[in-house]
Amino acid sequence: MKFRDGMWLVAEGKRVEYAEEVYSINEAPDGKKITLLCPTMQIRSRGDTLNRPTLTVELEAVMDDILSIEVTHWHGAQNKGPHYDLFPSGRPDVNAIIAKTEQGTTISAGNLSATVSSAPHTFDIRFHSKDGKDKLTSLLNRSVGLAYDPATSSPMQTADMREINHYILTQSTLSVGEQVYGLGERFGALNKVGQAITLWNADGGTSSDQAYKNIPFWLSNRGYGVFIDATEKVDLEVGSERCSRVQTSVLGQRLKWHIIYGPSPKQILDKYTTLTGKPAKVPTWSFGLWLSTSFTTDYDDATVLSFLEGMKARDIPLQVFHYDCFWLRAFHWCDFVFSPKHFPDPKASITRLKASGLMNKVCVWINPYLGQASPVFAEAASKNYLLKRKNGDVFQWDLWQGGMGIIDFTNPEACEWYTSCLEKLFDIGVDSLKTDFGERIPSKDVQWFDTSVAPEKMHNYYAYIYNKVVYEALQKRYGKYEAVLFARAATAGTQQFPLQWGGDCESTFEAMAESLRGGLSLGMCGFSFWSVDIGGFEGTPDASIYKRWVQFGLLCSHSRLHGSNSYRVPWLVDDDDKSEQGCSAVLRKFTQLKCRLMPYLYSEAMESIKHGWPVSVRAMAIEFPEDKTAWLCDQQFMLGSSLLVAPVFDESGEVEFYLPEGKWTSFWDGQVVEGPKWVKETHQFDTLPLYVREGSILVLGREGEKRTTWDWTKDVEVKTFFPNGKSSFRLVDPDNKELATITAVKSDDDWNVKGAEGLAR
């Protein structure tokens, strides 16, 4: 939302009042917070203190290297929930210091400081490293304010605020060359400078400025990140109102955000996920291939069996079979009952399929909506489990399902009831759940069971509580570390309930690229696990697009074949081409490659969740923050810390990608390329650019491996790639217990590995 018309004028219809000076500074007794009283004009006489708004700015040391900034106009305004659950694993101690000098007052948290200038009649707050080496960002003149829309002409008008919108806004400075990343799974340009972004979950596909996963966190290439502690709609102008500032605004009387000092991206993400929650561990079987029925396709027991047998006949290892929406009866979504016409005995069928070895686990699609045609709607409505309108009616509309209602997860009894419905699915043999939707949550004319929450704050936050309820139900049944979701909607903290997938993309190379940008952006917001609809969701991919998407999708942390109105089994895409360049052969090769990578991949995953890093589709800048070119790369990614992947986005097989400094070894043929440099290659469908970083140690399964879980001390090989004194790899088992720590040791003029003695091929 723009509040100004260029630099000089206020936008038509708006009135803005800015903090013009710091009138007084009060220090909290615990020495961790300072409070600034900031009038909206410079106070030069006693009369200037009258008839004038003031803004309160609180700077607090939250934990080492994190300071919070809260701006408030009227303190008497209710601060309704929901609020983000910060420090879910416990709040660390903070080394807070407040110091006063002639230049100003400085509050420090660990290595991060904010200095409030003591210059008279000035509003000037500078954020910097404690040693002064790194200058991060600032709040300068006309950078903190309140705004009215429509504009008021007299303070008397604010006696009735029912028709007046009140905003709080801040504008932090952007330095020369500064770039901004993150803000959720966004599908446009990776660098957000120049974009106007609204953080408001929406079911808008992957080809617009709407997003399923709006995360109020952004990361700067200058060594800091910002977490906006606001569950409501947040509007950002990232260098798009004033080119040298990031403007953040909310509708209300207060705005709070945290600045997080890294200085590296990895350190920033580690601290950010300490604040909002670390991603949880996922089971090894979930890393294997998932196959879906697709959305509106016609399928039954016989169809499922034919797909599974077809995959086995083509030697394509499959871990999970997913039943999408139409496992339910039409108009009965989501009532948790298999369609008796298509699946007369689902428990027996699932039991047989698992026993046959055709698949390992079962996933089914669910959402938090109840169509009124189903008996469970009446049950939920009668027990007050559904969201209501302000007049007491159940909130209903005909969007998606006829007369559908929305589960009210602010009602603890509704959560228990919903969990009991899920438990009936677990009894049948369902192991995982695709938690679809959760974005279209109304914010007008609604009344939640918990009257302490504000409807506009529940819109984004609903994704958090919905996925939390389902995830905890899975944990309760299968164990803490066996739970895994396939979730679409998210907000800050939802990374604790993995995993998330990229939503409804088209079956095109362009959609494949925009999906990658979405995954890269989400990974820069503390989400370790991410997947995508291999082949694209909307439309029917041709063989070229399908195979290139298979390559990309099997090198994501999680991999699922899924579509809308067409199947995604490979033999139906290319008329069962049995050549080595056919769809089945490509899917087989890359599925087996992922299985082979499991000792490396899983160990990297355990390190990633410890710090809140993305496992795959890891932005190049996370690994190479000193390389300016790495910050610009949006068509390639790192898989863990050692493997570089460049998907092919062209039917010709031509691809151009960037290799940072060092020696890079092709995974396929051992060819070595010295970076930094841009490289052009042409690939058939059985390869893509996959390079190993200099200094890497990889523990790999045997070629043709079909398992995701086995004893990783056996049937493995240890490979080194130009090892050096920093080369090290910690191999863990599926319980995250250390199997080996492998390091490189120099002997004479050669390097050998140490610590791999217990590993046998």
Measured CA distances, 231 to 29, 71, 164, 225, 582 (Å): 29, 16, 21, 18, 48
Say whether domain 4-197+212-257 belongs to CATH 2.30.42.10: no
User: Which residue type does 582 have?
Assistant: G
Residue pair 532/502 in contact by the 8 Å Cβ criterion: yes
CA–CA distance from 178 to each of 1, 114, 137 (Å)? 21, 19, 10
Burial classification of residue 7, based on how many CB atoms lie within 10 Å of its CB (0-12 exposed, 13-18 middle, 19 or more buried): exposed
Q: Which residues of the chain have pLDDT under 70?
A: 761
The pLDDT, as a whole number, for residue 583 is: 98
Domain boundaries, the chain: 4-197+212-257
52's tokens: 């004038």
User: Count of CB atoms within 10 A of residue 732's CB?
Assistant: 19
- Contacts (Cβ under 8 Å, ≥6 apart) of 537: 295, 503, 504, 505, 506, 507, 562, 563, 564
CB 684 within 8 A of CB 651: no
Please answer whether residues 233 and 279 qualify as being in contact, where contact means their C-beta atoms are separated by less than 8 angstroms.
Answer: no
DSSP state at residue 47: G
Q: How far apart are CA 191 and CA 634, in angstroms?
A: 9
184 neighbors 218 (Cβ within 8 angstroms) = no
Query: 646 and 673 in contact (C-beta within 8 Å)?
Result: no
- Residue 415's nearest CA partner among 466, 479, 365 is 466
In sequence order, which residues have a C-beta less than 8 Å from that of residue 456 and are 6 or more positions away?
232, 233, 251, 443
Per-residue HEC secondary structure of 55-92 comes to EEEEEEEEECCEEEEEEECCCCCCCCECCCCCCCCCCC
Positions annotated as catalytic residues are 436, 439, 504
pLDDT in tens, 75-91: 999 999 999 999 999 99
- Nearest Cα to Cα of residue 605 among 363, 287, 318: 287
Give helix 265-276 / helix 583-611 axis angle, nearest 10°: 70
Closest CA to 388 of 462, 465, 464, 450: 450
Q: Cα–chain-centroid distance for residue 681? A: 31
pLDDT of residue 263: 98
What is the full DSSP assignment across 314-366? TT----EEEE-GGGBPTT-TTSS-B-TTT-SSHHHHHHHHHHHTS-SEEEEEE
Which tokens hold the place of 167? 């905003």
Residue 547 tokens, joined:
């195979």
